[in-house]
Amino acid sequence: MENGKIAQGLGSVHASFYDLSSGFYTGLSTMELILASSSPIRAQLLAQAGIDFTALPARIDEEALRQSFTAEGLSPRDQADALAEMKALKLSNKHPQARVLGADQVLDHQGQALGKAADKHELAQQIQALQGSAHKLHSALVVYEAGQPVWRHVETVRMHMRPLSDGFIRAYVDAHWDKVQYCVGGYRIEAEGIILFDRIEGDIFAIQGMPLLPFINWLTIRQELTF
């Protein structure tokens, strides 16, 4: 799923944007950009927008943290924000010269946060619980510079899953497990997952875990991107 250009060396990482007059990307910021995520789709979306970056996983125990947050009564929305911040902070402490973008997404079903399914059986149970009802996806971005938060955003999308039979759910999980096992809710909206829904309220980028427009708007406000 990864395509576009992803810088490999921190020394060459910079934010860059498309120059309509020349047809090439021209750097408007000398600060290195690190995406604190191992998600291929997040990397793909940033690369397709013309932003150079290094993708580095923050390596936090997300499932243990989610369980802890749930025990503490943290809402699913706040869990997404906290996890994105923890990722950004961890890598910002390691790379204080860089701008670090932390990202996370939490599925909220009736006020309960759902994590990634451990196996096919658990995924089928999750989809059975979600079918015929609406759930929310909270997608969070947090930017750190020199160990300090400088910007954050959480975008919520409402997903309406159509009624699905047990037989369809089993067939879907068997056919797509290898591709969706890393996805919260067991679907990729840009691929086979679209057939599960009869209505979606919100931004497609947020569904994919990267609220790209607010991030670009923030860069514009900082005059790192001008029109």
Among 27, 154, 175, which Cα is nearest to 81's? Answer: 154
**What whole-number distance in Å separates Cα of residue 160 and Cα of residue 134?**
4
Q: Looking at 67-222, which runs of residues are DSSP E strands?
A: 98-109, 112-114, 134-145, 148-161, 197-201
Closest CA to 108 of 93, 91, 129, 87: 129
Q: Mark whether 61 is an active-site residue.
A: no
Instruction: Collect all residues with Cβ–Cβ distance below 8 Å to 134 and sequence separation of at least 6.
Output: 158, 159, 160, 161
| Contact indicator for 156, 202 with CB cutoff of 8 Å | yes
Q: Are 46 and 210 in contact (CB under 8 A)?
A: yes
**Do 198 and 160 meet the contact criterion of CB atoms below 8 Å apart?**
yes
Strands 134-145 and 197-201, bridge-based pairing: unpaired
- Residue of 61, 104, 119, 166 with catalytic role: 104
Give the H/E segment covering residue 19: strand 16-19
Residue among 207, 213, 211 at smallest CA distance from 107: 207
Supply the residues annotated as catalytic: 104
